[in-house]
A and B are shown apart, each in its own frame.
Chain A
Amino acid sequence: MTDVSEIPRTDLVLHVNGAGHRIRVDPRTTLLDVLREHLGLTGAKKGCDHGQCGACTVLLDGRRVNSCLALAVAHQDAEILTIEGLADGERLHPVQEAFLERDAYQCGYCTPGQICSAVGMLAEARAEGTELDADEIRERMSGNLCRCGAYVNIVDAIGDVAAGG
């Protein structure tokens, strides 16, 4: 067994939802585990922990990523945005509003990842000038699984935002 006191630790600074955090972690720690276990931000969820389900999706410099496969130590220069930082005070983000409006969830476990992924995806499509129809939304959101099967309403919610509704 490895003596715990001999495990290397590293000091790092992470910028999450507009605030800097100084923490000391084992360099193997993923961004997801830092968010949940060190910073108390439990919105991003641990589903598969292998980058296959998307429940851990957060935004790094505006781009959606799987936080379970990102080592925290490697992303100290990024602006990290989680579901907790998406609303502007009491005013929800348009994608959050749309998910409420369309009842785009059942158990809610995948929802923070779905919403962060949708925010990133909408920005990607805007930058490319791609029109998003339902098929295109399904393809671009295929990295987010919903075991309840709320896909129909998820696609509608994202479609509303894409259409500016």
Chain B
Amino acid sequence: MRPLTYERAGDAGAARAALAQHGRGARYLAGGTNLVDLMKLGVEAPTHLVDVRHLPYDRIDDTEDGGLRIGATVTNNALAADARVRESYPVLSQALLAGASGQLRNLATVGGNLLQRTRCAYFQDVTKPCNKRDPGTGCPAREGDHRNLAILGHSEACVATHPSDMAVALVALGATVHVLGDTGEREIAMPGLHRLPGDEPQRDTVLAPGELITAVQLPGLGRLGVRSHYRKVRDRASYAFAVVSIAAAVDVAADGTIADCRIAFGGLAHVPWRAEAAEARLRGAPATEASFAAAAAADAELAAARPLRDNGFKVPLARNLLVRTLVELSEGTEGAAR
């Protein structure tokens, strides 16, 4: 670790000014669960930390459209435990609780969770080349250990996956990220926050340097949000990153057809992957097991998959996960009960 200085920002303006003043070596610090770890690994070497954890973004407020505005410094555990989230957006609570450990979730914030870096082993090992960590050095994962890396949207330069569970749920729910930048506030609709690697894998998101996440807003979704679920497949029962995960919501109409649905995958791409092709195929279709089992939706989505040598298994895994999760979600609803 390089020597560094630390300051606690009193307000957002001061935080942004401090970051700008200290230049490229400055980083915002919130919960620190990823940043401090990356500092120990030598992946990050900040010269100045601007602590934003005490900024006044620690509330979860109701919005006029029946949604929620979640402050960026709300901890992952506080968000998961919020009664409104558990009631109206179970997929979000479940995704949060499927991630990390109780101890990490008590430190980790909503803003920090969105900005955490990939856990690709090459990115985290400074003795290895990595285009994301050190642009232009190459990507050993393509020929090396990539069993748990991307099958969708990857590039010649990078095959990393985004590690967040929470972000997968937020993408499915159509959340909006509020950020503060040079020109004031702006809103970024998810899944637009994260970007595919292309030839600039060092850029995980569309944020400009110094832009600060202040809140995440969930739209009021009524029944669709209530009928939502997060399911995560991992190499052990708990406390592991996803191999493949899914955030799904289904609203079945009285006639048994799918009135609306939302589907997003984790563990498949450099971004939380909104399965828009699958959603489009399912809207208006009968919510029956046969319909899901045909896996037409999944194939529509996963036809674009380009698995690497050792991760082709993620294609059927994602398909099965989608079918099983949608079957379970639509069971017990009025329309699908027949």
Interface positions, chain A 38-76, Cβ under 8 Å from B, are 49-51, 54, 57, 60, 63-66, 69-71, 73-74
B106 touches A69 (CB 8 A): no
Interchain nearest-CB distance for B74 vs A (Å): 13
A27 touches B6 (CB 8 A): yes
Point out the residues of chain A lying under 8 angstroms from B296, CB to CB.
none
In the complex formed, the residue of A with least CB distance to B33 is A69
A69 touches B101 (CB 8 A): no
A142 touches B239 (CB 8 A): yes
Point out the residues of chain A lying under 8 angstroms from B53, CB to CB.
74
B77 interface residue (CB < 8 Å to A): yes
Point out the residues of chain A lying under 8 angstroms from B51, CB to CB.
74
**A-B contacts, CB under 8 A, total:** 94
A143 touches B102 (CB 8 A): yes
Partner among B6, B104, B238 whose Cβ is within 8 Å of the Cβ of A51: B104
Interchain nearest-CB distance for A56 vs B (Å): 9
Instruction: Report the Cα distance A10→B107, complex, angstroms.
Output: 22
Partner among A6, A117, A139 whose Cβ is within 8 Å of the Cβ of B103: A117
Point out the residues of chain A lying under 8 angstroms from B174, CB to CB.
none
Binding-face segment, B34-42, B58-66, B196-204, B215-223: B34-42
Point out the residues of chain B lying under 8 angstroms from A27, CB to CB.
4-6, 49
Q: Provide the A64-90 mask, 1 if CB < 8 A to any CB of B, else 0.
A: 111001110110000000000000000
Q: Provide the B25-53 mask, 1 if CB < 8 A to any CB of A, else 0.
A: 00001001100110111000000010101
B239 touches A124 (CB 8 A): no
Instruction: Report the Cα distance A117→B81, complex, angstroms.
Output: 17
Partner among B1, B5, B106 whose Cβ is within 8 Å of the Cβ of A65: B106
A117 touches B102 (CB 8 A): yes
Instruction: Report the Cα distance A8→B6, complex, angstroms.
Output: 9
Instruction: Report the Cα distance A10→B4, complex, angstroms.
Output: 10
Q: How many residues of A contact B (CB 8 A)?
A: 37
Interchain nearest-CB distance for A46 vs B (Å): 12
A121 interface residue (CB < 8 Å to B): yes
B3 touches A143 (CB 8 A): no
Instruction: Report the Cα distance A26→B49, complex, angstroms.
Output: 13
A8 touches B4 (CB 8 A): yes
Interchain nearest-CB distance for B8 vs A (Å): 8
Given that A74-B51, A138-B238, A142-B101 are contacting pairs, would A69 and B107 also be in contact in the complex, using a CB cutoff of 8 Å?
yes
Point out the residues of chain A lying under 8 angstroms from B238, CB to CB.
138-139, 142
Pairs across A and B, CB under 8 Å, 14 listed: A10-B6, A28-B1, A50-B40, A51-B33, A51-B101, A63-B106, A64-B106, A66-B107, A69-B36, A74-B53, A121-B102, A142-B101, A143-B104, A143-B239
Starting from the known contacts A8-B3, A71-B29, A143-B104, 12 additional A-B residue pairs (CB-CB under 8 Å) come to: A10-B6, A30-B36, A50-B40, A51-B104, A64-B106, A65-B104, A73-B6, A74-B53, A127-B81, A139-B237, A142-B237, A143-B101
